[in-house]
Amino acid sequence: MIRVGVDVGGTFTDIVLERSEPGADAQVVVTKVSSTPNDQSEGVVQGILKVCGLAGVKPGEIDAVFHGTTVATNMVIERQGAKVGMITTRGFRDIMHMARHKRPHNFSLQFDLPWQSKPLVRRRDRLVVSERIMPPTGDIEVPLAEDEVKHAAELFAKRGMDAVIVAFLFSFLNNEHEQRAKEIVKSILPDAFVSASSDVVNTIREYERFSSAAMNAYIGPRTSAYLRNLEGRLRANGIDAMVRIMQSNGGISTIENSSELPIGLLLSGPAGGVIGGRWTGEHSDKNNIITIDIGGTSADISVIENGELRIKNPRDTEVAGLPVLVPMIDIDAIGAGGGSIAYIDSGGAFRVGPRSAGAVPGPACYAKGGDEPTVTDAQVVLGRMDPEHFLGGDLTIDASLSEKAIRKHIAEPLKLSLEDAALGILKIINNNMALAINANSVAKGVDPRNFSLMGFGGAGPLHSVSLAEAIHAKDVISPVHPGITAATGLLVTDLQYEYTQSTLMVLDNASDAEFGRVNAVLDDLVARANRQLDADGIPAGQRQFRQVAECRYVGQGFELRADVPDGALGKQTAGVIIDNFYNAHKQVYGHAFRDQQTEMVTLRVIATVKVETLRLPRLGKGGRTNPPEAEIYRRRTVFDNGEAADTPRYQRGKLLAGDRIDGPALVIQHNSTTIVPPGYLATVLDFGDMRIERDKG
């Protein structure tokens, strides 16, 4: 079995190849190529061919390719999507123009509203037709005016629309009108990307549903073209492997499904890192992990609890300021990374980020014309990143430029020593990251004292211990390959499909008839999942289903997920859902109520199929302490407490399972350095990951 994971980033495309044969240790080969922003699939194919060469594998021997892509996300951010038309209910042409009528800035007169200045569907292309579905039953008050739909579709044909969405009010109660209108549009525009809002996401709240449908249509034609093109390019190069795409929810999907619902790919990129973090945790015996993926300009933070990914509350899922009602891993991105710039603002405050030096000009030490000091420059000045090992020696840097930049912009104006200024830069950036971690953990009912902090991305392990101290995490894990954790994640996740339907019902006193109605919805959702899995050729025995009810107390506006026991719903299972919701509410808000009624708002069925997971070879047994054979050299390094020490560097590739490294020490590998501060102890685990904790003597 040969499987390849390809993760496309802004600068590099990372590739992981795994070859496993029964009875033998798996072979894992990793490499990277430059990304090709004009057509990501070029870099993907180049990378696969390169990794094949390194592993001695013929392209035709690959069984499966797993791909994490930012194609859809970039299309939204750069507003390079399709020309979309919308047919909607008369009287409600501008739901997407008003959005939630809240502006993104409180204290601003000059702010921008992206949904008005850069709309997914222009007002002229939003056409209204007569029809009316009435709440709360879904009865038809005004029948669909089919001639108006036909007229609108003909106008769209004349205007040359790439895509058309049909989005009617209350379609989550009754989608008859949406479906009929969609048929009419399809008959007139057979080649366009046509969808109904209830196809994309069948849930209550018109703005979010309409906007999600519009987003899906906006990225649909070009995303599906990209995926088809990728498949063609692979075939043309002799790679006839099965292709699977990473989704925002952390599962993988087929090319067909991703082409139809590209909205599920918007967090495809960052999802891989979190999955890779979970998998690293599994073979480090950790199932409570806070992950932080630190890049050049931003850091992605997520929490894994009891081995489960946390899914963002649907009320908070957005991309480029626009709502996206599909399940996404709860990842918070903040503007803090190696390239974050340190400066003194006009009022005299010491700031670090979110402005970044990016890849060009990059940190001052890159000598590409950047004069402002960055986080990376601070690490260099403190002796935490050695010039000869920078990016594995692929990049030469000039440490004196780091020093000059920090002196000029920070140390002199604030009358600090060079090292205190550099320590200050790190303290501020670490504090920004720690506050963001708290917002994604403590603020959501997670107690970091029971969690391990896992930093990855090239710069992650430089910050891990400082961050763990700041948030009081239990210990730190440095993954075996911090730089390619995201690409590894592609090889270790499940096939996953989700189906939703808003079904409002108060659980506490529901009648048998109401349970019957809900069970019919559940059956339908499961049947839809089965149809997809049939199409994928998945045997029934491998299919797993999970049922979730999104609930709130009657009158509340925000739902939380509660697990639904297997099988049909009834009085007893309703009680279990109420308890599950009670616990979720208590965890998230610190309070929950027994005297309030619980309302189910949306039902969700999640179908998963386990996929073969990546198996790393175990390291040989070492059991040594500070093995001299792994030491490269010693050099002066300054730690967070301001103390400098002559600090040994160890070569990570030479460490074996059970080896222990006493701090202060730096553990260096290609493209990543792990800091073990004084008073800490690092232990190498069975597969090469390192656990770092306070040395209790």
Partner 1 sequence: MEKTVDPITLQVIGGALHSIAEQMGNVLYRMSYSSIIRESQDLGAGLFDRDYNTLCESDSTPMHIGSLPGYLRGIEKTVPLDAWKPGDCVVHNHPYYGASHSPDIGIVMPVFFEGDLVGFSANTAHHVDIGAATPGLVIDIPDVFAEGMLLNGLLLYKEGVRNESLWKFISDNTRVPSLVMGDLEAQIASAELGVQRFQQLMATYGKETVLQASRQLMDYTENMLRREIENIPDGDYVAEGFLDDDGRNRGVTLPLKVTVRVRGDGVEVDTTGSSDQVPTAFNVPFDGSTKVACYFAFRALLLDTYTHEEYIPQNEGSFRPVKVTSPLGSIFNPISPVAAEARFSQIQRLCDLIIKALAPVLPDKCTAGNAAVLSFAAYSGVRPSGDYWVFLEVNEAAMGGRPLSDGPDTVEELMRNTRNNPLEDLGMHLPLVCDRYEVRDDAPPGAGKFRGGAGVVKSQRYLTPGFMTHESDRNEDAPWGIFGGKPGHCSKVELKNTQTGKHSYQPAKFSGLRTEIGDVVTYYSPTGGGYGDPMEREPAKVLDDVLDGFITVDHARDDYGVVLSEVDDGYGWALDEGATKARRAERMRG
Judged by phi (left if over 0) then psi (alpha if -120 to 50, else beta), residue 142 lies in beta
Q: Taking the complex as a whole, how short is the minimal distance between the CB of residue 114 and partner 1, in angstroms?
A: 11
Q: Which C-beta is closer to partner 1: that of 129 or that of 169? A: 169
Q: Taking the complex as a whole, how short is the minimal distance between the CB of residue 515 and partner 1, in angstroms?
A: 19
Determine, following the binding rule CB under 8 A, whether residue 590 of this chain makes contact with partner 1.
yes
Binding segment for partner 1 (CB under 8 A), chosen from 244-252, 458-466, 482-490, 591-599, is 591-599
Binding segment for partner 1 (CB under 8 A), chosen from 53-61, 569-577, 583-591, 622-630, is 583-591
User: At which residue do the structure tokens 């560097």 appear?
Assistant: 649
Do the beta carbons of residue 341 and residue 355 sit within 8 Å? yes
Q: Taking the complex as a whole, how short is the minimal distance between the CB of residue 601 and partner 1, in angstroms?
A: 9
Q: Which C-beta is closer to partner 1: that of 32 or that of 310? A: 310
C-alpha 362/C-alpha 376 separation (Å) is 9
Q: What are phi and psi of 67, to 5 degrees?
A: -130, 130
Number of residues that bind partner 1 (CB under 8 A): 72
Q: How many C-beta neighbours within 10 Å does residue 369 have?
A: 10
Looking at 170, 193, 499, 639, which residue binds partner 1 (CB under 8 A)? 170
Compose the 481-510 pattern: x for residues touching partner 1 by CB under 8 A, - for all others: -----------------------x------
Q: Which C-beta is closer to partner 1: that of 352 or that of 665? A: 352
Q: Which C-beta is closer to partner 1: that of 122 or that of 228? A: 122
The angle formed by the CA atoms of residues 319, 321 and 325, to the nearest 5 degrees, is: 50
DSSP symbol at 313:
P
Looking at 587, 596, 613, 651, which residue binds partner 1 (CB under 8 A)? 596
Show Cβ contacts of residue 390 under 8 Å, excluding neighbours closer than 6 positions.
Answer: 396, 397
Q: What are phi and psi of 589, to 5 degrees?
A: -105, -10
Taking CB under 8 A as the criterion, which residues in 323-362 touch partner 1? 345-351, 355
C-alpha 526/C-alpha 105 separation (Å) is 42
Taking CB under 8 A as the criterion, which residues in 530-549 touch partner 1? none
Q: Which C-beta is closer to partner 1: that of 109 or that of 236? A: 109
Q: Which C-beta is closer to partner 1: that of 71 or that of 423? A: 423
Of 317, 287, 308, give the one whose Cα is nearest residue 494. Answer: 308
Looking at 60, 91, 143, 642, which residue binds partner 1 (CB under 8 A)? 91
Q: Which C-beta is closer to partner 1: that of 17 or that of 87? A: 87
Determine, following the binding rule CB under 8 A, whether residue 642 of this chain makes contact with partner 1.
no
Looking at 27, 229, 287, 431, which residue binds partner 1 (CB under 8 A)? 431
Q: Which C-beta is closer to partner 1: that of 539 or that of 555? A: 555
C-alpha 564/C-alpha 576 separation (Å) is 8
Determine, following the binding rule CB under 8 A, whether residue 38 of this chain makes contact with partner 1.
no
Determine, following the binding rule CB under 8 A, whether residue 438 of this chain makes contact with partner 1.
yes
As to burial, measured by CB atoms within 10 angstroms (0-12 exposed, 13-18 middle, 19+ buried), residue 316 is exposed
User: At which residue do the structure tokens 């792994």 appear?
Assistant: 630
Q: Which C-beta is closer to partner 1: that of 105 or that of 618? A: 105
Compose the 121-150 pattern: x for residues touching partner 1 by CB under 8 A, - for all others: -xxx---------xxx--------------
Of 275, 683, 269, give the one whose Cα is nearest residue 485. Answer: 275
Of 9, 3, 5, 4, give the one whose Cα is nearest residue 457. Answer: 9
Q: Taking the complex as a whole, how short is the minimal distance between the CB of residue 290 and partner 1, in angstroms?
A: 16
Binding segment for partner 1 (CB under 8 A), chosen from 28-36, 169-177, 246-254, 476-484, is 169-177
C-alpha 393/C-alpha 397 separation (Å) is 9
Q: Taking the complex as a whole, how short is the minimal distance between the CB of residue 691 and partner 1, in angstroms?
A: 26
Binding segment for partner 1 (CB under 8 A), chosen from 104-112, 563-571, 657-665, 683-691, is 104-112
C-alpha 639/C-alpha 644 separation (Å) is 6
Binding segment for partner 1 (CB under 8 A), chosen from 293-301, 428-436, 461-469, 566-574, is 428-436
Query: How would you classify the pairing of strands 475-478 and 452-456?
Result: parallel
Taking CB under 8 A as the criterion, which residues in 190-219 touch partner 1? 204-208
Q: Which C-beta is closer to partner 1: that of 31 or that of 171? A: 171
Tell me the β-bridge partners of 105.
none
- Three-class HEC string of 214-254: HHHHHHHHHHHHHHHHHHHHHHHCCCCCEEEEECCCCCEEE
Q: Taking the complex as a whole, how short is the minimal distance between the CB of residue 131 and partner 1, in angstroms?
A: 13
Taking CB under 8 A as the criterion, which residues in 390-409 touch partner 1? none
Q: Which C-beta is closer to partner 1: that of 209 or that of 649? A: 209
Looking at 557, 620, 628, 697, which residue binds partner 1 (CB under 8 A)? 557
Determine, following the binding rule CB under 8 A, whether residue 412 of this chain makes contact with partner 1.
no
C-alpha 66/C-alpha 481 separation (Å) is 18
Looking at 21, 63, 112, 447, which residue binds partner 1 (CB under 8 A)? 112
DSSP symbol at 621:
B
C-alpha 88/C-alpha 91 separation (Å) is 9
User: At which residue do the structure tokens 């123009």 appear?
Assistant: 97
Beta strands in 130-277 (DSSP E): 132-134, 139-142, 163-167, 193-196, 242-246, 252-254
Looking at 22, 158, 190, 641, which residue binds partner 1 (CB under 8 A)? 158
Do the beta carbons of residue 679 and residue 278 sit within 8 Å? no
Of 209, 175, 177, 181, give the one whose Cα is nearest residue 194. Answer: 181
Q: Which C-beta is closer to partner 1: that of 155 or that of 526? A: 155
Looking at 54, 60, 111, 371, which residue binds partner 1 (CB under 8 A)? 111
Q: Which C-beta is closer to partner 1: that of 14 or that of 208? A: 208
Tell me the β-bridge partners of 127.
87
